[in-house]
Amino acid sequence: MKYTISKELFQTLAGEVEVLKKAHKAVILAHYYQRPEIQDIADFVGDSLQLSQQAATTDAEVIVFCGVHFMAESAAILSPDKVVILPEAQAGCPMADMVDAEGLRAYKKRVPGVQVVCYVNTSAEVKAESDICCTSANAVKVLESLKGKDILFIPDENLGRYAANILDKSLQFWPGYCKTHDRLTKEDILKARREHPLAKVIVHPECRVDVCQEADYIGSTAGLIAYAQNSEKQEFIVGTESGILHRLNQVCPTKEFYLASERLVCPNMKLTTLAKVRDALTTLSPRITVEDKIRVRAKEALDRMLAL
């Protein structure tokens, strides 16, 4: 995938970022959905689980999080002594906004004793009201670890249904979804299969249930990359956000990847630019913090997940 800025501008900005990063003892973490030039200057690129593991263990003093708000917030929860920066303050996640702490508290009142599994795509306040977090990489493992019958999965209904189906477990679901993955339809997959009959279909579990049913493999972003790397196949139809193509092409240069729909672009993930990363490292802002009262309880939910 090509950079969204010229090579010359990339070199200038990347040079400035490198100098500032050293001066502030900073580490740059980026999600696979980020612009190609952001992925290429990052110290670590990963899925949500890998990024929270990095945030929890890094010895850098400053974490520059190139992703969306809940990711930087998770880093601030896990590493409260570090300065956590989100270069673009407006980079949120519409799915995370589909559940709030007040609504969740009301649900728990209606269903006393319910255990709440929350996808990391949630606010710190919602995590603080939850028993355990999960990501798309470990949702099955997290659900497997829970005893008891009353389990509520928030907020991604598609991911919850995917994991529950594997375990043949009955769950309660929150009606949330990813607006980006929801744009991919079963018809898109069938059309892509007709155009590329030899390709394997690989999709993210945030996709609609009928899209997942058409897939050869379902996994987190890191899972999809590992599958393509280890597969003997040469062609893949990719059902997740477009940014992943950059890494897929880097690690599998001789294989062909086709985005299942041109609509698979998360506008929030694309808000972070290299100039904003440079500015954020210059001013050490916008800074993400979480008040202690919420942070300590949210950390318990994240720690339970990381302990698995």
The site for ligand SF4 (CB under 6 A) is made up of 68, 93-95, 121, 178-181, 206, 241, 266, 268-269
8 Å CB contact between 236 and 202: yes
Closest to ligand 13P by CB, 20 or 134: 134
**Residue list 131-150, contact with ligand 13P (CB under 6 A):** 135-137
- Give the one entry of ligand 13P, ligand SF4, none that residue 179 binds, where binding means its C-beta sits below a cut-off of 5 to 8 angstroms depending on kind: ligand SF4
Closest to ligand 13P by CB, 257 or 278: 257
Residues 6+ apart with CB under 8 A from 269: 31, 33, 34, 67, 68, 91, 241, 243
For residue 50, give the nearest of 221, 266, 239 by alpha carbon: 221
How far CA 218 is from CA of 175, 193, 214, 237, 296, in Å, comes to: 21, 16, 10, 12, 33
- Give the one entry of ligand 13P, ligand SF4, none that residue 135 binds, where binding means its C-beta sits below a cut-off of 5 to 8 angstroms depending on kind: ligand 13P
Residues 6+ apart with CB under 8 A from 206: 95, 136, 156, 158, 159, 177, 178, 180, 181, 240
For residue 100, give the nearest of 74, 69, 123, 81 by alpha carbon: 123
Please count the residues of this chain forming the interface with ligand 13P, following the rule CB under 6 A.
Answer: 14
Residues 6+ apart with CB under 8 A from 308: 138, 141, 142, 145
- If binding is defined by CB under 6 A, does position 221 make contact with ligand 13P? yes
Dihedral sign of CA atoms 158, 163, 166, 172 in order: negative
At closest approach, how far in Å is the CB of 244 from ligand SF4?
A: 10
At closest approach, how far in Å is the CB of 51 from ligand 13P?
A: 8
Closest to ligand 13P by CB, 79 or 138: 138
**Residue list 242-301, contact with ligand 13P (CB under 6 A):** none
Can you tell me which of 74, 115, 220, 261 binds ligand 13P, judged by CB under 6 A? 220
- Give the one entry of ligand SF4, ligand 13P, none that residue 220 binds, where binding means its C-beta sits below a cut-off of 5 to 8 angstroms depending on kind: ligand 13P
**Residue list 51-110, contact with ligand 13P (CB under 6 A):** 93
At closest approach, how far in Å is the CB of 93 from ligand 13P?
A: 6
To 10 degrees, the CA torsion angle through 67, 73, 79, 81? 110
At closest approach, how far in Å is the CB of 182 from ligand SF4?
A: 9
Backbone angles phi, psi at 64, to 5 degrees: -100, 115
Which range in 3-11, 43-51, 195-203, 273-281 contacts ligand 13P by CB under 6 A? 43-51
Closest to ligand SF4 by CB, 255 or 263: 263
Dihedral sign of CA atoms 94, 142, 104, 30 in order: negative
In the complex, which residues of this chain contact ligand 13P (CB under 6 A)?
31-32, 47-49, 93, 121, 135-137, 204, 206, 220-221
